[in-house]
C-alpha cells in the first residue's frame, strides 16, 4: 500500500490546483485521473466549444460583411476539418500544459486509471492500493442520455462527441433547449447546417425569466433555427438518408442528432458506499458549507457536488478548500454569488436572482430594463439584439440580480458581479463614470431607471 498526505480523484478544475497548493506546502499528493487532465472544460467543454463558437462567428460576420461595406466575392465556405483541428489544438495545448506543469512538481504523483474506494481512507487504482488521511473527489459529470423510443437504434451525438465532427451535418436536430444545446444549435447553423431545436419545456433556457427566454428564441429564429417547445413525445428511427425525429407536433428529417438533455455526476462507480459517503438521488455528493462530505477527511469538489456546473464554480471550490485547509481561513460555499453566461451570439451574462426568484423571496424589489438598441456601442457595431435587466432590493438598495443579453453581455455583467460581491449599493454604482463608447456605460443609466414593482 502506498501512502500519501492527500489523494485527489479527478483532474478537472478544482482538484489539480488544490493538489498543486498542497505540494507547495510540502505534502505528498496522488492525483488520479481516469482519462485526460483538465476535465470537461479543457477536453470537451469551454475551451473546444468556445473555439468552435469563434469559428462560427467568423463565418457569420463574413456572410454579413456587406452590411459594413465590405464585399467578399464568392461563397463563404466552411472547412470543418480546419475548424475541428483548431479546437483540438486549443485543447491539446491546455492539456499538455497541465501535464508539463505536474511533471515538474516534486511531491506530485499523477496516476491514470479508474479509482474506487476500498474504505474511507483507501482507494484502489490499476491494481494498486493507495491511502491518505485526506481524499478529494473532483470527478465531474457526463451527458445524460434519456430513455426515448428508438434512441438505441441511432448513432446520436453528445456534447463530447460532436466537437470531433469534421464534416458538416445536413440537418442537425438538437434534443434539449438549454445552454449546451443552444450554443451548438447556433454554431452549426452558422456553419451552414439546417438546425432544429426540440425542447420538452414551454420555453428555451428554462432557468431564465420568460422575457429573457423569449429574446433568446427570437435571436435563434432570426438566424433560421427551427424551434419546437412544449414537446411531450419524441421518437427516433433510421431513415434512408439519416434519422427521422418524430414528435407530437412535427416530423424532422435529420442527418445528425445531438442529445443535450443535461448532465449527471460521475459518482456511480466510485465505490461511495465502501467509504460511507452520502449522495443524493441524482448521484451528487452531499457536502456542507465548506465542501466536506459526511465522512471525515473526504471532500467533494466541482460538478460532482451539484453546486454549480461551471468551470469557475469548480475553481472557486478549490479556492474555498485551499483557503480553509491551508491558509487558516473560513470561507463558505453559501457566500458565493452565482454568475454564468450563455455563449450564443449575442451572449447572455447572468448573476444572482432572476425576477421570478426575487418576487418569490418576498422582498420589495425594483426592476429596470434597457434595450440594447439604446446602447451606442451596439449601434456602432450593428448588433442591437437583446436588452439589459437589473433587479434590486428597494429597502437595502443592494443589487439582487441582473441579466445582460446583448453584445459583450458576458463581459459587461462583471461590473455588476463585482458590485454585488463587494456589497455596493446601486446608488453608489449609479454615480460611477464609465468610458464612452462602451456597452458598460449603460449600467448607471439602467440603475437610474430602477422602479418599484
Instruction: Given the residues 114, 200, 228, 436, select the one marked as catalytic.
Output: 436
Instruction: Determine whether 240 is exposed, middle or buried from the number of CB atoms within 10 Å of its CB (0-12, 13-18, 19+).
Output: exposed
Nearest by Cα to 280 from 272, 118, 314 = 272
d(CA 137, CA 31): 10
d(CA 412, CA 404): 8
Q: Yes or no: say if 95 and 55 are a contact pair by the CB < 8 Å rule.
A: no
> How many of the other CB atoms lie within 10 Å of CB of 285?
26
d(CA 396, CA 363): 10
> How many of the other CB atoms lie within 10 Å of CB of 417?
19
436 catalytic residue (yes or no) = yes
d(CA 339, CA 294): 27
d(CA 6, CA 131): 8
Catalytically annotated residues: 436
Amino acid at each position: 500500500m502506498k501512502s500519501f498526505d492527500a489523494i485527489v480523484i479527478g483532474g478537472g478544475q478544482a482538484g489539480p490546483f488544490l493538489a498543486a497548493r498542497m505540494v507547495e506546502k510540502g505534502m505528498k499528493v496522488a492525483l488520479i485521473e481516469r482519462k485526460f487532465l483538465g476535465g470537461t472544460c479543457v477536453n470537451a467543454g469551454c475551451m473546444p466549444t468556445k473555439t468552435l463558437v469563434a469559428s462560427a462567428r467568423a463565418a457569420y460576420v463574413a456572410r454579413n460583411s456587406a452590411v459594413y461595406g465590405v464585399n467578399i466575392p464568392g461563397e463563404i465556405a466552411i472547412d470543418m476539418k480546419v475548424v475541428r483541428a483548431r479546437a483540438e489544438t486549443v485543447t491539446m495545448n491546455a492539456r499538455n500544459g497541465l501535464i508539463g506543469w505536474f511533471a515538474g512538481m516534486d511531491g506530485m504523483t499523477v496516476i491514470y486509471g479508474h479509482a474506487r474506494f476500498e474504505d474511507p481512507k483507501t482507494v484502489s487504482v490499476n491494481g494498486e492500493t493507495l491511502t491518505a488521511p485526506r481524499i478529494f473527489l473532483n470527478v465531474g459529470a457526463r451527458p445524460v442520455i434519456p430513455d426515448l423510443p428508438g434512441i438505441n437504434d441511432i448513432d446520436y451525438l453528445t456534447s463530447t462527441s460532436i466537437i470531433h465532427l469534421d464534416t458538416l451535418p445536413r440537418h442537425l436536430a438538437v434534443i434539449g433547449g438549454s445552454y449546451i444545446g443552444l450554443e451548438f444549435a447556433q454554431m452549426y447553423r452558422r456553419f451552414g447546417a439546417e438546425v432544429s431545436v426540440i425542447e420538452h419545456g414551454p420555453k428555451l433556457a428554462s432557468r431564465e425569466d420568460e422575457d429573457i427566454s423569449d429574446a433568446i428564441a427570437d435571436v435563434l429564429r432570426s438566424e433560421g433555427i427551427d424551434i419546437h417547445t412544449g414537446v411531450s413525445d419524441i421518437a427516433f428511427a433510421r431513415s434512408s438518408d439519416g434519422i427521422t425525429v418524430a414528435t407530437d407536433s412535427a416530423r424532422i428529417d435529420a442527418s445528425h442528432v445531438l442529445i443535450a438533455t443535461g448532465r449527471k455526476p460521475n459518482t456511480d462507480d466510485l465505490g461511495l458506499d465502501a467509504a460511507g459517503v452520502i449522495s443524493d438521488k441524482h448521484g451528487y455528493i452531499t457536502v456542507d458549507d465548506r465542501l466536506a462530505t459526511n465522512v471525515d477527511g473526504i471532500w467533494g469538489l466541482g460538478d460532482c457536488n451539484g453546486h454549480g456546473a461551471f468551470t469557475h464554480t469548480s475553481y472557486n471550490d478549490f479556492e474555498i478548500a485551499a483557503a480553509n485547509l491551508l491558509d487558516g481561513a473560513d470561507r463558505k460555499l453559501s457566500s458565493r454569488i452565482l454568475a454564468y453566461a450563455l455563449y450564443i451570439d449575442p451572449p447572455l451574462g447572468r448573476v444572482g436572482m432572476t425576477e421570478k426568484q426575487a418576487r418569490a423571496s418576498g422582498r420589495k424589489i425594483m426592476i429596470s430594463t434597457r434595450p440594447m438598441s439604446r446602447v451606442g456601442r451596439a449601434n456602432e457595431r450593428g448588433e442591437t439584439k437583446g436588452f439589459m435587466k437589473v433587479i434590486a432590493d428597494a429597502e437595502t438598495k443592494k443589487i439582487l440580480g441582473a441579466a445582460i443579453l446583448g453584445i459583450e453581455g458576458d463581459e459587461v455583467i462583471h461590473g455588476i458581479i463585482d458590485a454585488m460581491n463587494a456589497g455596493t449599493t446601486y446608488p453608489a454604482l449609479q454615480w460611477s463614470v464609465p468610458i464612452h463608447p462602451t456597452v458598460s456605460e449603460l449600467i448607471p443609466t439602467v440603475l437610474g431607471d430602477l422602479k418599484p414593482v
